[in-house]
C-alpha cells in the first residue's frame, strides 16, 4: 500500500528526526539539514543548465547531490554514530577539480561580483547557500557533536562553486564583473 505524502504530524510545528524523536521545525538541527536540502534543490537547477558541458560536470553535480543527501541524513539523526558516504577522498576530489579549473583562470584583479552569466550566477547562488549551510552546521556544533568532515566538505564545496562560477564565465568568454567601490 502506498503511503500518503501528508501525515498531519507536522501541523503543530514539529517534525521527526531519524529515529522518531519529535522536535520543533525551527530546531537548530532541522535548520542545518534543511539548508542542506535547500542547497541540494538549487543544485538540481544548476545541473539542468545547457552550458554545463565541461567534462563530466553534470555527473559530478549529481555526485555532490548524493553527498549532500548523505550529510542531510546524518544531520537528521540525533547522536549519529557514523557518517556514511562521505570521506576525505571526496574533499580531495573537490580540491583536485578546483585546482584543475583554477589553472585555466586568469589572476583575480579584485573582488568579483556574482553574475556575468546565468550559469555563473547559479554557481554563486550555490556558493552562498553552501556558506549558509556551513553556518547552520557550525551553530549545531555548539550543542551537538558533528563529524568534522561535514564542515570540511562544505567549506571546500563553497570554494568549488566560487571557482566554478569564474571558470564558466571565462570558458564561455563572459567578462567577470569586478566590484567598483567608487560606484
- pLDDT at residue 117 above 80? yes
* pLDDT, greater one: 37 or 3: 37
Question: By percentage, how much of the chain surpasses pLDDT 90?
Answer: 75
Q: What is the pLDDT of residue 62?
A: 94
How far apart are alpha carbons 81 and 23 in whole angstroms? 20
Residue range 42-70: average pLDDT?
A: 86
Q: Where are the domains of the chain?
A: 21-75+84-171
Q: What is the pLDDT of residue 9?
A: 67
Which helix (DSSP H) or strand (DSSP E) does residue 152 occupy? helix 148-171
Name the superfamily (CATH) of residues 21-75+84-171: Cobalamin adenosyltransferase-like (1.20.1200.10)
Residues 6+ apart with CB under 8 A from 125: 42, 114
Report pLDDT digits (tens) over 4-43: 777 776 677 877 878 878 887 889 999 999 999 999 999 9
Q: What is the pLDDT of residue 22?
A: 87
- pLDDT at residue 57 above 90? no
How far apart are alpha carbons 46 and 61 in whole angstroms? 8
How far apart are alpha carbons 8 and 14 in whole angstroms? 10
How far apart are alpha carbons 64 and 49 in whole angstroms? 16
Q: What is the pLDDT of residue 52?
A: 62
* pLDDT, greater one: 70 or 55: 70
Q: What is the pLDDT of residue 88?
A: 97
Q: What is the pLDDT of residue 53?
A: 58
How far apart are alpha carbons 74 and 82 in whole angstroms? 8
Report pLDDT digits (tens) over 126-142: 999 999 999 999 999 99
Amino acid at each position: 500500500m502506498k503511503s500518503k505524502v501528508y501525515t498531519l504530524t507536522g501541523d503543530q510545528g514539529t517534525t521527526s528526526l531519524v529515529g522518531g524523536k519529535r522536535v520543533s521545525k525551527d530546531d537548530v538541527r532541522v535548520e542545518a539539514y534543511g539548508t542542506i536540502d535547500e542547497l541540494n534543490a538549487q543544485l538540481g537547477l544548476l545541473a539542468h543548465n545547457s552550458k554545463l558541458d565541461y567534462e563530466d560536470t553534470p555527473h559530478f553535480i549529481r555526485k555532490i547531490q548524493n553527498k549532500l543527501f548523505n550529510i542531510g541524513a546524518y544531520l537528521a539523526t540525533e547522536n549519529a554514530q557514523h557518517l556514511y558516504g562521505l570521506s576525505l577522498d571526496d574533499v580531495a576530489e573537490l580540491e583536485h577539480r578546483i585546482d584543475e579549473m583554477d589553472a585555466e583562470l586568469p589572476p583575480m584583479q579584485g573582488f568579483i561580483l556574482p553574475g556575468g552569466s546565468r550559469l555563473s550566477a547559479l554557481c554563486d547562488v550555490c556558493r552562498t547557500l553552501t556558506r549558509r549551510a556551513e553556518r547552520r552546521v557550525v551553530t549545531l556544533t555548539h550543542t551537538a557533536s558533528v563529524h568534522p568532515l561535514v564542515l570540511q566538505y562544505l567549506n571546500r564545496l563553497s570554494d568549488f562553486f566560487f571557482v566554478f562560477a569564474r571558470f564558466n564565465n571565462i570558458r564561455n568568454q563572459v567578462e567577470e564583473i569586478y566590484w567598483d567601490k567608487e560606484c
